Amino acid sequence: MAKISFLALLLLISSTAYGQLSHKYYSNSCPGLQPLVRSIVQQTLSNDPTMGASLLRLFFHDCFVNGCDASVLLDDVPPFFIGEKNAPPNMNSLHGFQVIDAIKASVESILCKNTVSCADIIALAARESVAFLGGPYWAVYLGRKDARTTSQMAANINLPPPSASLQTLVSSFSAKGLAPWDMIALSGAHTIGQARCANFRQHIYGDSNVDPGFASFRRQSCPPAGGDSNLAPLDFRSPVKFDNQYYKDLMAKQGLLHSDQELFNGGQFDFFVWLYSVNQTAFFDDFANAMIKMGNLPPAGSNGEVRKNCHRWN
């Protein structure tokens, strides 16, 4: 009896924790949604697997700025409205908008009109990308609403920079209710994707906790001056495979960004990097759980909507 009450309490706590989001949210109103998103993402990634990283990052950058509300998709309307897209962490760096547009257009034209939010499409596209590239699969909680406004300043304040120290990373995730181990699991997203030289130059020329062979290899395409946009893979051994190689790289001092290597630099959370480097299942489980947690970040405003066009409010 006591056991049943405890389980009921647990269920109550978990349903409250996920607010009004539910993985069955569109079961009646748009039952074909998830297969459609899966099929478009799979088709896109078959042609260009690097797009998976872009879609995953889009979700992170959406959720960290005013919650997961598709605020990141709003176009600037100068001089009246300046949004997140051209904030320094996003400008010439965030990609995948056209894939979200393609999914939204298909949903609206062949599936269900005015029903599915752009924020939910981003969450589903991120999950499908990870799964397609070999990573874990999880039930996405749905029912988010799209924001009617945002600001460039919000992106600048909330997105941690690649120069961040371990303490800054821990604080910026803790400000979102995410624990240090959530942050370390989520950082495993850097097992796929690329970064621009401007974002890792200081690390390969100035930091001491870098494998010298790795640093000189990376310097070949990232000169001390110029070449800011030259790209390098965040995990050069398997850049389009979602695996635990990122953590092995960190153990070998081959993290590309300063912020990556901060996770394994003699600090108090080294253990998690080691754990994920030897146990991919633990990484996949913790990553999936942390993605659900991050996906539950509530929007700042209460007057959300289902946008007709992901680029602008209705």
Q: Is 22 annotated as a binding residue?
A: no
Binding-site size for ligand HEM (CB under 6 A) equals 25
Question: Which residues are within 8 A (CB) of 273 and not within 5 positions of it... i.e. 6 or more apart?
Answer: 184, 247, 250, 251, 263, 264
Q: Is 128 annotated as a binding residue?
A: no
**How far is the CA of 19 from the CAs of 15, 16, 25, 60, 146, in angstroms?**
6, 5, 12, 19, 16
Token pair, residue 314, equals 């209705």
Q: Is 61 a catalytic residue?
A: yes
Does 296 engage in binding with ligand HEM (CB under 6 A)? Answer: no
Instruction: Say which of 61, 203, 258, 311 is annotated catalytic.
Output: 61
Residue 245 three-state SS: helix
Question: Which residues are within 8 A (CB) of 241 and not within 5 positions of it... i.e. 6 or more apart?
Answer: 133, 134, 191, 192
Instruction: Say if residue 79 is preceded by a cis peptide, omega within 30 of 0.
Output: yes
Query: Which of 192, 222, 288, 310 is close enough to bind ligand HEM by CB under 6 A?
Result: 192
With contacts defined by CB under 6 A, name the span among 11-19, 34-42, 52-60, 98-106 that binds ligand HEM: 52-60
Q: Is 243 annotated as a binding residue?
A: yes
With contacts defined by CB under 6 A, name the span among 5-13, 51-59, 79-87, 104-112 that binds ligand HEM: 51-59
Does 196 engage in binding with ligand HEM (CB under 6 A)? Answer: yes
With contacts defined by CB under 6 A, name the span among 5-13, 31-39, 154-162, 304-312 that binds ligand HEM: 154-162
Closest CA to 193 of 37, 39, 59: 59
What are the helix (H) ranges across the chain? 2-17, 33-47, 51-63, 97-106, 118-132, 152-158, 166-174, 180-187, 197-206, 212-219, 245-251, 258-262, 270-278, 280-295
Does 166 engage in binding with ligand HEM (CB under 6 A)? Answer: no
Residue nearest to ligand HEM (CB): 193
Span 116-135, contacts to ligand HEM by CB under 6 A: none
Residue 106 three-state SS: helix
CB of 285 to ligand HEM, least distance (A): 15
Does 57 engage in binding with ligand HEM (CB under 6 A)? Answer: yes
Does 261 engage in binding with ligand HEM (CB under 6 A)? Answer: no
Question: Which residues are within 8 A (CB) of 285 and not within 5 positions of it... i.e. 6 or more apart?
Answer: 136
Binding-site residue positions: 62, 65, 67, 69, 71, 84, 160, 190-191, 235, 243
Q: Which residues are catalytic?
A: 61
Binding stretches for ligand HEM (CB under 6 A): 53-54, 56-57, 60, 93, 95, 160-162, 164, 169, 183, 186-187, 189-190, 192-196, 199, 257, 259
